[in-house]
Structure 1
Amino acid sequence: LTGLSVFSSPPMTLQDCLAECMEAVDLFLNNRFTESLDKLRPHMQDSMYHAVMYATMLEMQAMMTFQHDDIVRAGNTMKSAQEVCQRWGLHLRGGDALYVCVFPEQLHAELCYAECLLQRAALTFLQVRRLPLPCFREGGEVRSLPYSRLNHFQLEGGVSFGIGAFNLTLSLFPARILRLLEFAGLSGDKEYGLSQLHSGATSLNLRSMLCALLLLCYYTFLSFILGNSPSCICYGTKTPCCSLRPGAIFLFFAGRTEEIRGNIDEAVALFEDGCRAQQAWKQFHHMCYWELLWCFTYKRVWKMAYFYADLLSQESRWSKAMYVYMKAACLSMLPDDEVRPFGENEVELFRQVPTFKQKIAGKSPPTEKFAIRKARRYKSSSPTRLPVPVLEMMYMWNGFTMIRSRPDLTRGMMETLVDAERALQDRPVTEYSVDDSCVIQLLKGMCLKNDCQTKAAEDCFQKVINSEKKIKFDEYLVPNALLELGLLYIDLGRKDQAVKLLQKAKNNYKEYSMESRTQFRIHAALTKLKADISEEEEESTDL
């Protein structure tokens, strides 16, 4: 890049900048994180691509730690990168249409500037109105401009990432938020967004890593948490980013893919390999520990699940309340006469949970609030124990979907639930008895659904719904039972009944635990139903 005396380092050509940033990305994907940042740092003030990629890597670190200082540092660095981009071209003013630049450097600057806005929005969660809409909306015009094919190839990757991320993100919002966004002229097309990200991920450009990571996050996390999991989850192991550079982050996603397939032992091996692959960024280890906790939960190896919860409670600052709750929950699954690791006691651990409450971006994480609410009953000098706290939290993370292809694991869960139900019946009746019974019924319904025992599953969900007026504490149970029964009816082809149940769950229940996650799943189910009904109507019209 040439021609501006304000730069602090010797000028580089655009092509040299892109080449060096590609080298930095390659180092990053091969676990050489410090070397990658060291390569980018010297030209952060005079190269828009060095500035954006450096800030992007800091943002990835912040997203893994969720720590205020890391988020602020990443945000400030991204803001500085935005200022570097401004020096290279005329940025968007007042939301007008894309300014078609005369020089290639300016066009790249426009795209990098827009990318900074997109990533700053992701960091703050509050800047939807500042998303770079004009640049990404007019991406087709950008692609038609004639100049250096090499640089144009990099520009196409940036446009694919921006358009794909924008459309995919907006398409996932619940209907009530989408209506507000549409009023402001914003809308998102999920399939179009995914196609753009696929295009960017399958070609080796500077943003292919970002496209691949966003797709992997969608297919292996968001789609399962939000309840619209795709039938094919093999994506990610076939992209150039993954196959050519099997670093820690892609080992992690490969493990997650095997976990979703039900190949739990293979997943455990990959997560362990991911931990061994690098030692520079412990955050990668913490992501693996979290998944290993759930892998051993699916296998009902409670002491190993406890071990990883304990590691997280000591090393990770993301949500100590959640980790301590999971430690206590795992210990509570052990027989009363079995020795507890490190001499810890689940009752004391449950009592500690509220003391670790924290706020991220001004709010407590929903799962943390849920854990604190569940742990409250242990304040008493003679507390009423939670029946199956690990499996209840497993449901909140959509874990029963993860084992649907493993009848042996599902049967194991069912055995645990039957034992818990028997123990609950043998205990004196308390104010928690109905709630605890309904928790067990909801989870039994999930196991029976996995085992294709649809009538028995339906009966379990219906028992929860019929107990609505007797439930005192766990208000989340009825809307989730309605949701699960609605999903069961979709599988059975009873679509009209499914719509009624889903609409009831959506409209009649507010301010319960994990409401946002339930609403996202309801939105996904209704959207799928609407699409299926539209296809059927088109087919009947064609006939």
Structure 2
Amino acid sequence: MAEAAMSELKREKLEISVKKETVSTVQNDKGSTEIPSEVNLATGIEEAAVALNLFLNNKFSEAKERMQPWADRSIYHALGYCTIMYLQAAMTFERADIDLAIETIKKSIEVCNKFRKKTSVVSAIARGAKGQKINYDNYTTEEIHAELCYAECLIQRALMTFVQDENLISFVKGALKIRACYLSYKECSKMLQNRTWNGCKEKIHFESGVRMGIGAFNLLISLLPTRVLKLLEFVGFSGNKRFGLKELELGSSYRHSLRGPLCSIILIAYHTLVTYVLGTADGDIPLAETVLTPCLQSYPRGALFLFFAGRIEEIKANLDEAILRFEESVESQMEWKQFHHLCYWELMWCHSFKCDWLMAMKYAEKLCHESRWSKATYTYQKASFLMMCADKTEETMEHINYLYGEVPRLQQRIAGKSIPIEKFAVKKAKRFIEQKNRLTLPALELIYVWNGFSIIGKRTDLVEPIISVIEATINTILESKESFQYFTDDYCLALHLKGVCLKHLGRTFQAEICFKEVCDSEKKLKCDNYLVPWAHMELALLCMQQQRPDEAKKLLDKAKHFKGYSLESRLHFRIHAANIELRSSKEDGASGPEGSVASTPEDELSMGVDELRDALPADMDKESSIPIETTL
């Protein structure tokens, strides 16, 4: 009796534990551990929420262990586990991690498929013939959540496809998976709108997921340059920036939903990172701060949120505060050191903005030793920061020589694609050797192409020492014209950088003169022909600043038609962002929805495949048609 009573007590305690801790292991009569054969939807969502909290609190291994045991029988465990494996592969770029992530995602898709609504082809055709709409009330709650989880797994599988293989077939497969995912999200959106929910407690988790998917798709597709967007619209994609942001903001407002924090992360990343790397630095920083505040309250030691806090301070040009935040993020966890690399990257720029070239060089060196992304880029940055140091010793110059010489050897292809910034670095490194250990303002040039002057320009005390260095360099070039093998290129680069500084100091007329002189030198340039289209864009931005939209549009169109120069796809992203800004400022809205391309189906269908491929920027890999710069 005593043993029976104890057994009953253990059973009751176990049931309580399952309710409190959601899924837990069960012991059989022999004392060995068994895994429950089924996990219901509510328990799966609760477990996924626990794992997400663990992950955002830097407990990455615990989060993975929470999801793994039931990943073969629960849609939310499957989704959670494959997402963690996907993030690990994306951050390490190790072949073993990539292969394991792909296998895990495939299994997760199979699990989600088991729970999706089964619809026969015959019934679908019959319903279409009768003009009947789908009655989503016939779907169980688990079936609609399975559709959403399926879409989320599918997008991860598509992205891993691009990483795994190197050919056009891989791209087509990945594109088809993304399209299937896009259609699945649209179906989920219809479910959300047309289903009778009757106070279903799982609705908030479904709704935040739908808004996250639809919002992210619209936002990211709207970012793409017009030429690439036409390719996507040709196969059924479209994107509206304003709608995408609205959906993500709504999803983020559901703070206690499973995907609410994820919506917040996407929103903050867009406003603090994407708009600066691929846009015109027009992110809504007050909104990003508002969204980040409750996240930091919930996860005060969360490495990712501390990183975003640092990024916001950096954008506001509070560089000392930004440095403290990034260092705090690094110290918050040691398990996933790849998060450290994000901070090292920003710390490198923060110190370079302060003209602390030695500290910037040290972080470039850290990245070179620890990160697998692009050792050629890190090595070039390291050498370029050292080049900016005053009173370089002979030993320092020998080291700089060695570093620039290493850059071409370190160039790589990621997923079969060359990285445009690596091509740029290799070209410049070779020029350093060709010019017998000379390169004009290489670190300031890097700051410019990474849009760093949009941050430096917020503080006069940061701009003034930089413009002094630029003006001294211009004087040296003019005084020793004969000794400069690429005189026009070096002079125009320095002049362009001076124009950027003048613009941020409010001396727009003088800035305009600088940019126009660069444009007029087009035929004299031998290497740095990228300066001309970039100068056209800078002139367009000045016109927008001065409320001269027609002139700005002409300049942007002219910049868009240059071809075959360094970092072309990066400029096309910024031109597209500037055009969106121009269109949104017009009250008549004649250009169509924000972020979309005004084109008719007939126009799209009349374009041949070759014409579509020719529409891509020259530094975008024609074999894959994917701009690699979106990976960072």
TM-score (ref. length: structure 1): 0.92
Q: Hey, what does 1:438 align to over in structure 2?
A: 492
| 1: CA distance, partners of 2:285 / 2:516 | 31
1:51–1:147 CA distance, 2 compared to 1 (3 A): farther
Query: Which residue is 2:598 aligned to?
Result: none
Matched, 1:128 2:175: yes
- Name 1:541's counterpart in structure 2: none
1:38 is aligned to 2:75: no
Once the 2 structures are TM-superposed, how far is the Cα of residue 406 of structure 1 from its aligned partner? 0.9
CA contact (8 A) 2:209 2:259 kept: yes
With 183-192 and 445-454 compared, the bigger mean Cα shift is at 183-192
Distance 1:479 1:70, change over 3 A: farther
Give the alignment partner of residue 191 of structure 1, picking from 237, 242, 252: 242
> What's 1:352 paired with?
406
How far apart, CA to CA, are the structure 2 residues paired with 1:439 and 1:268? Answer: 30
Query: Following the alignment from structure 2 to structure 1, what is the Cα–Cα distance between the partners of residues 245 and 286?
Result: 15
Q: Is the 8 A contact 1:91 1:110 kept in 2?
A: no
Task: Structure 1: give runs of 5+ residues left out of the alignment.
Answer: 539-543
Partners of 1:349 and 1:92 in 2: CA distance: 61
Aligned residues: 531
Query: Which of residues 174, 182, 202 is equivalent to 2:233?
Result: 182
Aligned-partner Cα distance in 2 for 1:147–1:48: 23
**Residue of structure 1 aligned with 2:82, choices 37, 46, 55:** 55
Deviates most, 229-238 or 403-412: 229-238
Match of 2:456 in 1: 403
Could you tell me which of 555, 573, 595 is aligned with 1:501? 555
**Structure 1 equivalent of residue 285 of structure 2:** 233
Equivalent AA in structure 2 for residue 119 of structure 1: Q
1:396-450 per-residue CA deviation (whole Å, 9 max, x = no partner) reads 1111111221111111211121222233334443332111111111111111111
Q: How far 1:527 sits from its partner (Å)?
A: 2.1
How far apart are the structure 1 equivalents of 2:143 and 2:517?
63
1:517 aligns with 2:564: no
Report the Cα offset of residue 518 of structure 1. 0.2
Secondary structure in 2 aligned to 1:135? helix
Which secondary structure state, in structure 2, belongs to the residue aligned with residue 235 of structure 1? helix
Does the CA-based 8 Å contact 1:499-1:526 persist in structure 2?
A: yes
SS of residue in 2 equivalent to 1:167: helix
Aligned to 2:271: 219
1:120-519 to structure 2, matched below 5 A, reads: 120-125=157-162, 126=171, 127-131=174-178, 132-138=181-187, 139-143=189-193, 144-146=195-197, 149-203=200-254, 204-230=256-282, 232-239=284-291, 240-246=294-300, 247-338=302-393, 345-380=399-434, 383-427=436-480, 428-507=482-561, 509-519=562-572
Gaps of 5+ in 2: 1-21, 24-33, 126-132, 163-170, 592-632
Report the equivalent of 1:18.
Answer: 45
Deviations 1:129-188 (A, max 9, x none): 333233322414325332663211111111111111111111111111222322333211
Post-superposition CA distance 1:182-237 (Å, at most 9, x none): 23332111111111111112212221232122112211111112223336313344
Give the greater-gyration-radius structure (CA): 2
Q: Displacement, 1:536?
A: 8.4
Three-state SS of the structure 1 residue aligned to 2:528 is coil
Change (3 A) 1:23 1:231: closer
8 Å CA contact retained: 1:75, 1:120: yes
Residues 448 and 63 (structure 1), Cα distance of their counterparts in 2 relative to 1, 3 Å cut: farther
Q: TM-score, normalised by structure 2?
A: 0.79
Aligned to 2:19: none
- More deviation in 121-130 or 397-406? 121-130
Range that drifts further, 113-122 or 216-225? 113-122
Q: How far apart, in 2, do the equivalents of 1:44 and 1:51 lie? A: 4
CA distance in 1, matches of 2:518, 2:469: 19
What SS does the aligned partner of 2:285 have? Answer: coil
**Contact 2:537–2:575, Cα closer than 8 Å, also in 1:** yes
Q: What is the deviation of 1:344?
A: 6.5
- How far does the alpha carbon of each residue in 1:13-42 deviate from its partner, in whole angstroms, 9 at most, with x for none? 111111111111101111111111111111
Q: Indicate the RMSD between aligned Cα atoms, in angstroms.
A: 2.5
Which amino acid is 1:499 matched to? K
Q: What is the identity, as a one-letter code, of the residue corresponding to 1:28?
A: F
1:83-122 Cα offsets, whole Å, 9 max, x none, are 1101112378999997845221111111111111223334
Query: Is the aligned partner of 1:528 residue 2:581?
Result: yes
Query: What is the distance in 1 between the residues matched to 2:568 and 2:111?
Result: 41
Instruction: State the alpha-carbon separation in 1 of the partners of residues 388 and 472 from structure 2.
Output: 11
Kept after mapping to 2: 8 A contact 1:293/1:306: yes
Query: For residues 255 and 344 of structure 1, do their structure 2 counterparts lie closer, same or farther at Cα, with a shift above 3 Å needed?
Result: farther
Are 2:218 and 2:239, in contact at CA under 8 Å, matched by a contact in 1? Answer: yes
